[in-house]
């Protein structure tokens, strides 16, 4: 175990000193890799228990647009906006997930329901183009360097945030793995598994998109 | 049969390598709504969805009509998990 710990410690030290030696484009790539790895981890937490969802983008969209809209229109700091976005995405997941598992909509049908959910969220955001900018996207207002708004001129700050998020994602994965563990594909244990799984993965992947948005806006 | 449908469709839409992306999700919905493997169910579901899209597009904007169609699909999946013509 000690050899493994030593290797992990060396890797961590290398990752921590990376921002100083690496040009900004590579930093941008690394941040993208870490953020998307975080998102995929959250998706596969659900996938490994047999609940393939094709509509994960719906939760990402809600989690990204809620803090961005709150910041641009009301000046609400992302420190409050991001947990708000997370809780709204969880509510959405429960609204869709709870009837699914009560009424036994599983397998192929569940995948299609989540696909429909993804399309509904995307089309609703595009249709409300006066508020959300429609297909053109939505950039948060830039205020330069500010902890209040979670915006920074150098990418190193975002790198540290992305790294912390990625580790948090891995920690959640290990927690789910050790805790529930077996592939509960029995009809009996499916119920509490499923609702819990949708909730957990939605919670974790919310924080990523808002970190991405200000980093894009500050290039 | 899909080829025949595509030939009939290009009379109204243009032809480019990414036509499939426009129709993909909608086709999945209609097939599943009709029940997987049920021909008549697919027929009924196709008419159902197209009427909702057309009428919804008349009263609201065109994009919102698709939102209504997909929401209808989700609700119907809760009510009839195995397709509209199942028991």
Mean pLDDT within A148-173: 66
Q: Does A9 touch chain B (CB under 8 A)?
A: no
Interchain proximity A120–B32, CB inside 8 Å: no
What value does the mean pLDDT of chain A take? 67
Interchain proximity A123–B74, CB inside 8 Å: no
Q: Per residue in B19-51, pLDDT tens?
A: 777 777 888 888 888 877 777 888 888 888 888
**pLDDT of the residue at B86:** 65
d(Cα A119, Cα A124) in Å, to the nearest integer?
Answer: 8
**pLDDT of the residue at A133:** 63
Q: Does B81 touch chain A (CB under 8 A)?
A: yes
A201, pLDDT greater than 60: no
Interchain proximity B66–A123, CB inside 8 Å: yes
Label residue A218 by pLDDT band (50, 70, 90). Answer: very low
Label residue A136 by pLDDT band (50, 70, 90). Answer: low
Question: Which position has the higher pLDDT, B43 or A209?
Answer: B43
Q: Between vectors from CA A126 to CA B79 and to CA A132, what angle results, nearest 5°? A: 120
**pLDDT of the residue at A210:** 47
**pLDDT of the residue at A40:** 78
Tokens of A122: 């995307």
Q: Per residue in A7-36, pLDDT tens?
A: 777 777 777 666 666 777 777 777 778 777
Interchain proximity B70–A126, CB inside 8 Å: no
**pLDDT of the residue at A214:** 41
**Residue that is written with structure tokens 């190193």 in the block:** A156
Q: Does A109 touch chain B (CB under 8 A)?
A: yes
**Residue that is written with structure tokens 């697919």 in the block:** B42
Q: What DSSP letter does each residue of A130-197 carry, written as one string?
A: HHH-GGG---PPP-SSBTTTTB-SSHHHHHHHHHHHHHHHHHHHHHHHHHT-S---SHHHHHHHHHHH
Question: Which position has the higher pLDDT, B64 or A146?
Answer: B64
Label residue A151 by pLDDT band (50, 70, 90). Answer: low
Tokens of A105: 């909509």
pTM: 0.70
- List the single residue in B25, B78, B82 with the smallest CB-CB distance to A119: B25
ipTM of the complex: 0.74
Q: What percent of chain A has pLDDT over 90?
A: 0
Other Cβ atoms closer than 10 A to A47 = 15
Q: Per residue in A52-78, pLDDT tens?
A: 777 777 777 777 777 777 777 777 777
The phi-psi region of residue A52 (left if phi > 0; otherwise alpha if psi is between -120 and 50; otherwise beta) is: beta
Q: Which one, of B3, B83, B87, lies nearest residue B43 by Cα?
A: B83
Question: Which position has the higher pLDDT, A197 or A72?
Answer: A72
Q: Per residue in B65-83, pLDDT tens?
A: 888 888 888 888 888 777 7
Label residue B57 by pLDDT band (50, 70, 90). Answer: confident
Size of interface A-B (CB pairs under 8 A): 53
Q: Which one, of B62, B38, B43, B42, lies nearest residue B52 by Cα?
A: B62
**pLDDT of the residue at A83:** 76
Q: Per residue in A86-121, pLDDT tens?
A: 778 777 777 777 777 666 666 677 778 888 888 888
A48, pLDDT greater than 70: no
Label residue A154 by pLDDT band (50, 70, 90). Answer: low
d(Cα A188, Cα A185) in Å, to the nearest integer?
Answer: 8
B52, pLDDT greater than 80: yes
């Amino acid at each position: 175990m000690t050899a493994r710990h030593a290797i992990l410690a060396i890797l961590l030290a290398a990752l921590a000193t990376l921002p100083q030696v690496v040009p900004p484009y590579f930093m941008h790539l690394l941040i993208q890799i870490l953020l998307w790895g975080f998102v995929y981890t959250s998706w596969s937490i659900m996938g490994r228990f047999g609940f393939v969802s094709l509509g994960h983008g719906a939760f990402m969209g809600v989690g990204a647009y809620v803090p961005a809209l709150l910041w641009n229109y009301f000046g609400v700091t992302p420190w409050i906006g991001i947990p708000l976005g997370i809780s709204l995405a969880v509510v959405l997941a429960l609204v869709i997930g709870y009837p699914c598992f009560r009424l036994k909509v599983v397998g192929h049908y569940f995948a299609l329901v989540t696909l429909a959910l993804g399309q509904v969220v995307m089309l609703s955001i595009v249709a409300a183009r006066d508020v959300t900018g429609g297909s053109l996207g939505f950039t948060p207002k830039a205020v330069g360097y500010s902890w209040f708004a979670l915006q920074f001129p150098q990418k190193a700050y975002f790198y540290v945030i992305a790294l912390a998020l990625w580790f948090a994602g891995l920690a959640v994965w290990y927690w789910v793995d050790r805790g529930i563990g077996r592939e509960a594909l029995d009809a009996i244990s499916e119920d509490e598994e499923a609702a819990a799984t949708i909730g957990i993965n939605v919670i974790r992947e919310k924080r990523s998109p808002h970190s991405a948005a200000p980093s894009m806006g500050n290039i | 049969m899909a080829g025949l449908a595509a030939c009939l469709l290009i009379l109204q839409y243009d032809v480019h390598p990414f036509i499939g992306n426009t129709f993909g999700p909608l086709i999945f919905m209609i097939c599943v709504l009709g029940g997987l493997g049920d021909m008549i169910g697919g027929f009924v579901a196709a008419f159902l969805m197209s009427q909702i899209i057309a009428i919804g597009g008349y009263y609201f904007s065109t994009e919102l009509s698709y939102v209504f169609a997909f929401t209808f699909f989700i609700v119907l999946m809760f009510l009839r998990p195995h397709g509209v013509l199942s028991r």
